[in-house]
């Protein structure tokens, strides 16, 4: 089995994929909170209990790949995986993906591109063709743009839906914190409804507006695939998002790991 780890600023997504299978061959998938000061031992302590569930055996893991936007956790997760399974994980980066022929960037400083954005672009090209746009709803709302030649040409990084909501709660004394929920109407009939409308419909309007401008720069519309922890809350209201793939980042990691294993690139 292949262990896939996507370490984000707020949440870490872990998947276990069966060798030889495609997009639907995930034995298990977990989402846990990200501890930014976790040591390799801390990672092991959180990781191993997940493999106690029926049908999952830690002994079946023989390969691994990690995408991390927290540099210190790249080290912690890599060391933990090596200690538990004795395998050196593939660490996703623009350079590694380029060496495998999976990622080409029309970008002044490719080393600046986050590993999650690289993995998203790899998977989007493989699953949806090119051009294609990814919207990843996480701590930040990332938009990745792949042009008709298959090149990553940049995108947008904006505050995520919960990041914006938390800033509102912190800055407005009379606005009580409320969970992100799908509002029934744009016009809220209470403070809580008004906040939910502003947070959710505001995010939808921002994303659709940005995508319209991106289409103008690309010269036309193209598939837009959405992913991330809050993808289902926002995507159903969007007029521009065409597909939803919650496991998109893990899929990009899987494709990269298999390319490295086949000898198309280095770790």
Q: List, edge to edge, every strand of the sheet that includes 104-105.
A: 104-105, 151-159, 140-146, 132-137, 224-228, 243-244
Among 116, 120, 136, 147, the active-site one is 116
48: Cβ contacts below 8 Å, ≥ 6 apart = 58, 84
d(CA 197, CA 1): 43
Q: How far is CA 79 from CA 86, 144, 194, 213, 216, in A?
A: 9, 30, 46, 42, 45
CA 150 to chain centroid, in Å, comes to: 19
131 preceded by cis ω (within 30°)? yes
42 is catalytic: no
With H, G, I as helix, E, B as strand and everything else as coil, classify residue 153.
strand
Query: How close are the terminal C-alpha atoms of the chain, in Å?
Result: 18
108 sits in the region (left: phi over 0; alpha: psi -120 to 50; else beta) called: alpha
Strands 63-68 and 2-7, bridge-based pairing: parallel
List of E strands, the chain: 2-7, 11-17, 26-33, 63-68, 90-91, 104-105, 132-137, 140-146, 151-159, 224-228, 243-244
Q: Which of 40, 81, 41 is nearest to 64 (CA)?
A: 81
d(CA 233, CA 13): 18
Q: List the catalytic residues.
A: 116
């Amino acid at each position: 089995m292949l262990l896939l780890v996507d370490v984000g600023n707020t949440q870490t997504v872990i998947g276990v994929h069966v060798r030889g299978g495609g997009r639907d061959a995930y034995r298990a998938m977990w989402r846990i909170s990200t501890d930014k000061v976790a040591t390799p031992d801390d990672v092991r302590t959180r990781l191993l209990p997940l493999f106690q569930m029926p049908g999952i055996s830690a002994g079946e893991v023989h390969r691994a790949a990690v995408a991390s936007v927290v540099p210190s956790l790249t080290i912690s997760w890599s060391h933990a995986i090596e200690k538990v399974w004795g395998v050196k994980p593939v660490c996703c980066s623009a350079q590694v993906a380029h060496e495998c022929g999976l990622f080409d960037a029309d970008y002044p400083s490719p080393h600046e591109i986050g590993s999650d954005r690289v993995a998203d672009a790899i998977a989007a090209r493989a699953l949806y063709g090119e051009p294609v746009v990814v919207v990843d709803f996480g701590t930040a709302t990332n938009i990745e743009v792949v042009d008709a030649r298959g090149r990553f040409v940049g995108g947008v990084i904006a505050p995520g839906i919960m990041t914006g909501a938390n800033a509102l709660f912190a800055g407005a004394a009379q606005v009580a914190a409320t969970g992100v929920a799908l509002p029934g109407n744009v016009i809220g009939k209470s403070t809580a409804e008004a906040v939910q409308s502003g947070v959710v419909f505001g995010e939808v309007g921002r994303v659709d507006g940005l995508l319209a401008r991106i289409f103008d720069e690309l010269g036309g519309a193209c598939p837009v695939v959405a992913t991330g922890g809050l993808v289902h809350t926002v995507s159903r209201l969007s007029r521009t998002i065409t597909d939803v793939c919650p496991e998109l980042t893990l899929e990009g990691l899987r494709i990269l790991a298999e390319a490295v294993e086949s000898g198309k690139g280095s770790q």
